[in-house]
Amino acid sequence: MIQEKYAPHDIEAKWQKYWEENKTFKVEMDKDKPKSYVLEMFPYPSGNLHMGHVRNYSIGDVIARFRTMKGFNVLHPMGWDSFGMPAENAAIKHNIPPKKWTLENIANMTRQLKALGLSYDWDREVTTCKEDYYKWTQWFFELFYKRGLAVKKESAVNWCDTCNTVLANEQVIDGKCWRCDHEVVKKDLSQWFFKITDYADELLKDLDLLPGWPERVKTMQHNWIGRSEGLEFSFEIPALNDTVAVYTTRPDTAYGVTFMALAAEHPLIKKICENNPKADEINAFCERVRNQSEIERTSSESEKEGVFTGVYCINPFTGRKVEIWVTNYVLYDYGTGAVMGVPTGDQRDWMFADKYGIEKIVTICPIGKELKLEEMTCAYEEKEGMLVNSGEFTGMEMHKAMSAIMDKAEAEGFGKRRVNYRLRDWLISRQRYWGAPIPIIYCPHCGEVLVPEDQLPVRLPEDVSFTAGAKSPLATSEEFVHCKCPKCGADAIRETDTMDTFLCSSWYYLRYTDAHNDKMPFDKELNNYWGPVDQYIGGIEHAILHLLYSRFFVKVLRDAGLVDYDEPFSNLLTQGMVIKDGAKMSKSLGNVVSPEEILSKYGADTARLFILFAAPPERELEW
C-alpha cells in the first residue's frame, strides 16, 4: 500500500543504514571499467555544516551518482582539512586541546554528512592533522628540499599581528590578512619558501590544457602569475662610480625619462648616503616608507612621495643627466627595485612629477595627432602611438620602436631583454602550533639537516604554551626543541615553525587514491588509474590559493616520477554562494539557516533537491 504522506525520516534512515552496512559506495581499482573521479573541496572542521557545504556536496553527489549509473567506476571520497588556526584559537580561549576540539568537530560533521545521504566511500577518509597523513606532508617537504625547491631565506615577509604569524602573498588580499582582515605589515625574517616561481612559466602555459575550467579562474591565475616582457638596462652614476638598473615594459619611452625612482629598500641607498649632507633626510624618509602598509604603498589613490638624493645618473640612450629620487611607490621586490620615471607615459610618474616640479617630455603621440604638453592633463598610457623627441627612433610606430630600442641596448651592451613575473615564492613557515612541524634539525656542525625519512613523522608536542608571542608555540616545549643531529650526533635543535595548511591541502586528492598506504604517500599505479580528478567542485575563493598550489605540487611530483599527468583537476566547477536577503549567510550577520533544521523538517532529499534546482550551480542562490 502506498503511504499518503512521505515520511523522510523513516525512509532515509533505513537506506542510510543500508549504505553504511553494505559499503555501497566503496570502490576499488577496476581496469575493465572507465573511471571517474568526482571530488568536492574538503571542509575545514569548524563544527557544523553550513548551507554552502550542502550545496557544494549535493552538486558533487549528483555528478557521482549519475556517473555511477552510467557505468563508470566512480571515486567519490571525503576528508578533513583539519590543521589551522581556529582549533588553536579554541585552545587559547576555552583551554581545549586543538586535537580534541578538531576530532569532536569531525565526528559531528561526519554525522551531518551521513544524514545528508551523500554517496562517499568513507573507507578512504583522510584527516590532515592525523599522524598517518602529516607524516607524508613532511615527506613531501623533504622531497621538495632534496629537489632544491624548499629553501630558507631571509626577506621582508607579510606579518599579521592578530594571527601572530607570517603569511604567503596569496593570503594577503588587498593588503589584508585573508583570515582576519587585519592590515598586514612587513617584517624581516628568515623563513622557509617553496620555489613556485621555478614553475611560473609552466603554470601559466598549462592553463591552456584546462578547457574544463571557468575562464574567470584561469584569468585570475594568469594575472596572479603576471608574466611581462621588457628591457633591463643600466644608468651610470658618475659620482659613485656605480650603476643602477631598471626594468621597463615600455622601452619605447626611454627618451622621455626625467628622473630615477628607487624603492626605499634599494641597496644603493646606503652608498648614496655616504658623505651625503642629505643622508639624515633620506634615511628618515626610508624609515617612514618601510613602516607604511602594503596598501598605502601600492594603491593607485595613495599619495606618491619621495625625496631627492642630491645624486644624478645618466640615461644611456640620451646622455641626459637625471635626478635620483627615493620613493614610496616603487616596490623593492619587483623588477630591479628601481624605475625610470617617465611622467608623460605613466600616471604614477605624472603625479610624482607634478608634486615635485619635475620636468615632463612628450615622446609618444597618438597616431596622426600631435600631443602638446600644455594640453595634457594626465599621462598618455595607450598602447598605440608614434615616437617624437626620440633621436633616431623619432617617427617610428611604438611597437616597432620597443623592439628597435631593445636591440640597441643589447647591441651596445648596456641592457638585456628580460621576462618578469609577479608571482613570488610561496612562504610556507607559520609561527603557529596546529600544523605539520617542518622536519628540519639545526646542527652547530652540519647546519640544516633533514629528519631521516624513517623518523617521520616529527610529532607535534603537547607540552606547549599557546601564547608564546611572536615565536611558534612549539619553541616552548623543551623536549621537542632539543634533539641530536641525525648526521653527527651533536646536540642540535629542531625547527619550531609549522607548515602552511595550504600545503596539507595541496595533495589530499592524491591520498584518496590510496588512503591507507604506510610505505608511500600513495601507490603510483593506483594514483595513475584514478587521477587526475575528473570533476572538481568548490568555491572561487580558492582560485589563486589552493588551486594554484595544487597545480604546482602535481608538476613537482610529476618531475619526481610520482605521477604521470600534468594537471590535478581536469574539470572545475566553482559553485555560487548561498545568500540570504542579498547577503552571504554568516554568523556575524545572523542570517544563517542551519542544514540540521531543514533536514529535520523536510529530510535530505528535499533539502538537496531544493538547493540543486533553485539556481544554476555556478550562480548565487538566494535562499
Interface residues with ligand ANZ (CB under 6 A) are 228, 247-250, 253, 263, 330-331, 334-335, 337, 339-340, 342, 345-346, 420
Peptide bond into 45 cis (omega under 30): no
Return the closest-CA partner of residue 618 out of 555, 564, 552, 572.
Answer: 572
Q: Which is nearer to Zn ion, 122 or 178 (CB)?
A: 178
Q: Is the bond leading into 457 cis (omega within 30 degrees of zero)?
A: yes
Q: Which is nearer to ligand ANZ, 420 or 591 (CB)?
A: 420
Min dist CB 533 to ligand ANZ, Å, is 33
Grid coordinates standing for 176? 589584508
| Residue 250 partner contact from ligand ANZ, Zn ion, none using kind-dependent CB cut-offs of 5 to 8 Å | ligand ANZ
With contact defined as beta carbons under 8 Å apart, do 264 and 286 qualify? Answer: yes
- Share in percent of the chain as helix, strand, coil (round to 5): 40, 20, 40
| HSE-up of residue 33 (Cα within 13 Å, Cβ side) | 17
Cell 559506495, located at residue:
25
Region at 527 (left for phi over 0; alpha for psi -120 to 50; beta for the rest): alpha
Comparing CB distances to Zn ion, the nearer of 435 and 532 is 435
By CB under 5 A, residue 163 contacts Zn ion: yes
Stretch that binds Zn ion, among 175-183, 185-193, 258-266, 519-527 (CB under 5 A): 175-183
| Residue of 160, 282, 436, 438 that binds Zn ion (CB under 5 A) | 160
For ligand ANZ, the closer CB: 247 or 433: 247
For 580-589, the CB contacts below 8 A with 24+ separation are 580/622, 580/623, 582/622, 585/50, 585/51, 585/52, 585/623
Query: What, of Zn ion, ligand ANZ, none, does residue 445 touch, CB below 5 to 8 Å by kind?
Result: none
Residue 235 C-beta: closest distance to ligand ANZ, Å: 12
Three cell numbers at 384?
Answer: 598605440
Sole binder of Zn ion in the list 99, 179, 187, 580 (CB under 5 A): 179
Q: Using CB under 5 A as the criterion, what x/- string covers residues 406-425 for binding Zn ion?
A: --------------------
The span from the first CA to the last CA of the chain, in angstroms, equals 36
85 touches Zn ion by CB under 5 A: no
Tell me which of Zn ion, ligand ANZ, none is bound by residue 249, counting a contact when its beta carbon lies within the kind-specific cut-off of 5 to 8 angstroms: ligand ANZ
Dihedral of alpha carbons 370, 375, 380, 382, sign: negative
Among ligand ANZ, Zn ion, none, residue 471 binds (CB under 5-8 Å by kind): none
Question: Interface with Zn ion includes 177 (CB under 5 A)?
Answer: yes
Integer Cα distance of 621 and 607 in angstroms:
14
Provide, rounded to whole angstroms, the least separation between the CB of residue 253 and ligand ANZ: 4
180 binds Zn ion (CB under 5 A): yes
Q: How far is the CB of 252 from ligand ANZ (least distance, A)?
A: 8
Q: How far is the CB of 263 from ligand ANZ (least distance, A)?
A: 6
- Residues in a beta bridge with 151: 193
Q: How buried is residue 575: exposed, middle or buried, by Cβ count under 10 Å (0-12/13-18/19+)? A: buried
180 interface partner picked from Zn ion, ligand ANZ, none, CB below 5 to 8 A per type: Zn ion
Pairing of the two strands 242-248 and 364-365: unpaired
Which residue of the chain is nearest ligand ANZ when measured via CB? 345
Nearer to ligand ANZ, 304 or 546 (CB): 304
CB of 231 to ligand ANZ, least distance (A): 9
Pairing of strands 35-40, 535-538: parallel
Q: Which residues bind Zn ion (CB under 5 A)?
A: 160, 162-163, 177, 179-180, 182
